[in-house]
Structure 1
């Protein structure tokens, strides 16, 4: 249980009305905007968009989009129609792409909101063209080519046919998606770029996009005309083999609701999976898997448990993570640091999203997008 430097011990709630909730999530919008500006600079002459799906990666689509718009972002990507309609209300003049494409029956609402579906099948192409006839104009869209994900998109070998059959719409972008861009030396990156370039030859003059967050950092610089980062904007590490170049955006504190002393042999939590090896002091915090803290952060024989920062000390989760509570071993925390009503850090400068995800045997994307609605939320910057 290491001790954190005094400079990192500021774990009191921000000076404002004290939240009644037992968890406090602070989102630093200035850090979010700074991350976008850094990625935009790395993209060079390419435009930098932003992926804001899943409620802005769990941090609030409205606040996220306003901050990114203020930083200069003019192109956004969402997952589905409802997210797109929300995005249109927030950014009336932005280009908004819907990654789901044209889900059957959604074309009229997509067109009414002036959304651009990312079309990846001939059935979608036909439905979108038919909607254009109804609206009396060719409708804008992206053409999505699958270069390896085997998830969504046209096959690159069909590019010539797509180009002919897309004459009934107004394509604005040709796109694909990396599958291993977080691994800079993976040869699949070069193959995907080659397949994408081959497909592009059938669409002269049309903007191209393949780079996600990690793709922005690839040595090949496959930025083309538009990059579309997501995870990195919110503080996730786009270069897992190196130090995280992004600023942290989310900080999560939880309140201690109970403290008690245990004798050796006493157990904690469901099924008694943790047994006190010595006289121990334990603290219960008011957050659990209903708040987005994975049950997999429970200790296992092959993995350490999750941690919280208590008075500058790293204190492990003990027992099983439950729906509303996590118990911490605070035996070695500084005297007076673990008392009822005090705050501990679960996510922030000391424990970043990668560290929390690693100890929960998951990925940072899941951690961010599952942050619970029971937290008091504050936006800074």
Structure 2
């Protein structure tokens, strides 16, 4: 027999699905009508909930989703029968039967998988990953040429040729040009139905990086990795946590582990029910503040596993009642700002918060007017080649 108590949630991550839709439309407008925008929803949609995020994107016109593995792909297939789903990594040579049974698209990352796909026959659609300078997955350019000479690609032509930029957020980095040129050489050799080099940051590098498809993950969730110019991405998440207790602390007393903060006056301190267990970065200690109505209160002392302390000495008592919420992420202080304060990546921050907090979905963003719809994956054709 199990026993549990019904408790209110101490930490809530609010996810604005309308903002996700607006960001999708914004990227579609940037790349234009001849470039498909595919959505990357891997790792539980960056911690924001795979099924809910996928549903919002499909309703907005997205018709291709990329996931991390077969577990995520099969879950999506059970909910959405017709959407195209591509799997970044689960070996086709081992799990080909699952790909075929569920109608999934493998991303082929090595020669062994390529040969298994070819053995499966022409009916098996696949995307081919080529290594151009990221040194993670993908066939080398030499592998591509050897298989080209063996006429492998005449027997099983890839639908989409993929690669991944290592320095897409750095507009002046010469690695981008090197990777683009390597990718183009393979693209022109194989002449697949489409090519995809750019992920979120690469969208802002210009049309020569877009090819036929961009794969957008971070940008959909309001993470600005462009490093080029100010974007109009909508913030997607807000974070709030409950005040659990309030106490008086004399001047000169330590607050939290290792006494990294000591009061310089008699202070009022609130204990808030969020910590690194919920995904709040430990390294943001003594560097951030929370919002309480129109007031701000600094976080003081180290981040504990389940708690932070905030200095509420200058905040009116009506905002500091145990059981009320403080705001940690808002429209004015986003996950990008939190990550910068902590010295970590916003992707890591968002994924950890999504996994550690109670998620609540809303539809409040209205800034989607005027953005164009996505071009269907099935409609890829020659105009984008002609533009290049």
TM range (shorter): 0.7 to 0.9
Residue 145 of structure 1 corresponds to 130
| Whole-Å separation in 2 of the counterparts to 1:202 and 1:141 | 17
Q: CA deviation at 1:362?
A: 0.4
User: Is 1:58 matched with 2:43?
Assistant: no
Residue 240 of structure 2 corresponds to 253
Q: How does 1:194-343 map to 2 (within 5 A)?
A: 194-240=181-227, 242-299=229-286, 305-343=287-325
Seen in structure 2, the aligned counterparts of structure 1 residues 237 and 373 have a Cα distance that, compared at 3 Å, is closer
Secondary structure of the structure 2 residue equivalent to 1:314: strand
Residue 146 of structure 2 corresponds to 161
| Whole-Å separation in 2 of the counterparts to 1:333 and 1:128 | 64
**Deviation larger for 59-68 or 86-95:** 86-95
Seen in structure 2, the aligned counterparts of structure 1 residues 372 and 65 have a Cα distance that, compared at 3 Å, is closer
Seen in structure 2, the aligned counterparts of structure 1 residues 309 and 122 have a Cα distance that, compared at 3 Å, is same
| Whole-Å separation in 1 of the counterparts to 2:89 and 2:256 | 42
Q: CA deviation at 1:179?
A: 0.9
| Whole-Å separation in 1 of the counterparts to 2:341 and 2:16 | 24
Seen in structure 2, the aligned counterparts of structure 1 residues 374 and 183 have a Cα distance that, compared at 3 Å, is closer
Residue 29 of structure 2 corresponds to 41
2:312–2:320 contact (8 Å) kept in structure 1: yes
Q: Number of paired residues?
A: 355
Seen in structure 2, the aligned counterparts of structure 1 residues 276 and 241 have a Cα distance that, compared at 3 Å, is farther
2:268–2:311 contact (8 Å) kept in structure 1: yes
Q: How does 1:344-359 map to 2 (within 5 A)?
A: 344-359=326-341
| Whole-Å separation in 2 of the counterparts to 1:361 and 1:334 | 32
Secondary structure of the structure 1 residue equivalent to 2:159: strand
Report the aligned-residue RMSD.
2.0
Residue 374 of structure 2 corresponds to none
| Whole-Å separation in 2 of the counterparts to 1:159 and 1:171 | 12
Q: CA deviation at 1:318?
A: 1.4
TM-score (norm 1): 0.88
TM-score (norm 2): 0.86
2:130–2:138 contact (8 Å) kept in structure 1: yes
2:15 to 22, 27, 34: 27
Q: With CA pairs under 8 Å and 6+ residues apart, which has the higher RCO, 1 or 2? A: 2
Residue 364 of structure 1 corresponds to 346
**Deviation larger for 151-160 or 251-260:** 151-160
Q: Where does structure 1 lack aligned partners over 5 or more consecutive residues?
A: 1-17, 300-304
Residue 75 of structure 2 corresponds to 86
Seen in structure 2, the aligned counterparts of structure 1 residues 219 and 166 have a Cα distance that, compared at 3 Å, is closer
| Whole-Å separation in 2 of the counterparts to 1:35 and 1:62 | 18
1:284–1:325 contact (8 Å) kept in structure 2: yes
**Deviation larger for 90-99 or 284-293:** 90-99
Deviations, residues 114-158 of structure 1 (Å, cap 9, x unaligned) = 21111121111123334x16xxx5411111011111001111233
